[in-house]
Amino acid sequence: MPTLRDSHGLWAMTAPEAPRTPVLTGRLSADVAVVGAGYAGLSAALHLAGRGIDVVVVEAAEAGFGGAGRNVGLINGGMWVMPDDLMRLLGEPYGSRCLGLLSEAPLLVREIIEDNAIDCELRKDGTLHLAAGAAGLVELRERHRQWTAPGAPVELLSLEETGRRTGSPASQGALFDPRAGTLQPLAYARGLARAAIAAGADLFTGSPVVAIEPDGARWRLLTPGGSVSADWVVVATDAYSTGPWKVVRDEQVHLPYFNFATEPLPAAVRRSILPAGEGCWDTNTILSSFRMDAAGRLVFGSFGALRNSGRAIHRAWAMRSLRRLFPQLRDVRLQSGWYGSIGMTSDAVPRFHRYAERVVGFSGYNGRGIAPGTVFGKVLAGHVAGEIADAGLPLPVTLPASRPFRALREAYYEAGAQMAHFAGARAG
């Protein structure tokens, strides 16, 4: 029988226990029903409850079960697309509004963690976007130009400085973002759940929503064991959406992403890798990421699914890549491995959907869930509370649209990652 350690790896091994939460039974009533206990849903619940609004959260599994509990743990601002592209795709006023909001989003994550004493291994040491070859350095120079134009405090590092900060000679340079950082992602999700409950929200887990129906002027959400009636419904299920909001999943192409964690490194080796504690990812098309956890384990990831033949292929590639990046890891051993899904929209930009009157949600985080999910959850709370009108939202109101050939694309990307890593492991 699969356990949470199989699906969430190191994060399940080291996160504080999840808060005790019941299954939804009977008929409940609330001002707002939030569907999904990831970063956006829990942030929305926390900020709604803080306003004195009666809020119920219903979650199919447990807090942080989806992407919130499986990701690398990089607290990045912005999106994968460059700032100018985000401006072009959204236009004004949404482009400037969204860019400004996401730029400062890591600071909101820090504030929530500190205000609620969330135990999640928060490090405020920034991140390094690493240049893979000359083309990668050209990309980072352009990112630096676009981010500094509106005043972001990012810094372009030399080859020598990048090597000093990473402990690896593999990158041509790096873009350092001091606003960013790292955390234990499942611990953060569970901490958000505790904070929302402490603020007055009710959280029900093991309670998938199987249907939504009108209930007079309200909405009624049906679960296998009960129901909740509410004036507003916040949909925060994103890439793991099923049931009434499967369309959210259908508008995204899933990219599988895996992580492996080493055993805790010896003290001398640990000091030689990421001595200042930044989290890293590179400019490769099939990118890699790495960061250190609180116990000195190096967490290393890339695109691919750890299932079927992919488990052995990606593991072999990861071992060879780690030793190439860090020659001091010649005797390294892996302690755990896990993977999840990144939901990608057609243009790599998030969506704000109104599914029906007073049924709303953000989705499509495109691999940037921690800070954007947290800040969009806060925006949802403001919108539901009547403080943010449609015209003041960071994204335009849209309807979800299914992606053509989605399943074929997903199979192609999973197979492509295996082939690239198989070739890389053999070449190594």
pLDDT for residue 424: 75
pLDDT for residue 1: 47
pLDDT value at 105 more than 90:
yes
* Cα distance between residue 205 and residue 161, in whole Å: 47
pLDDT value at 425 more than 70:
no
Out of 3.50.50.60, 1.10.260.40, 3.40.50.1100, 3.40.50.720, select the CATH number for domain 4-126+179-398. Answer: 3.50.50.60
Query: How many helices (H) and strands (E) are present in the chain, helices listed first?
Result: 13, 19
Token reading at 260: 């492996």
| pLDDT mean over 106-123 | 98
- For residue range 77-100, list pLDDT tens digits in order: 999 899 999 999 999 999 999 999
Q: How many CA atoms lie within 13 A of 306 on its CB side?
A: 21
Domain regions of the chain by residue span: 4-126+179-398
pLDDT for residue 11: 98
H-type alpha helices, 253-369: 267-272, 309-325
* Cα distance between residue 202 and residue 222, in whole Å: 16
- For residue range 381-412, list pLDDT tens digits in order: 999 999 999 999 999 999 998 899 999 999 99
- Residues of the chain with pLDDT > 70: what percent? 99
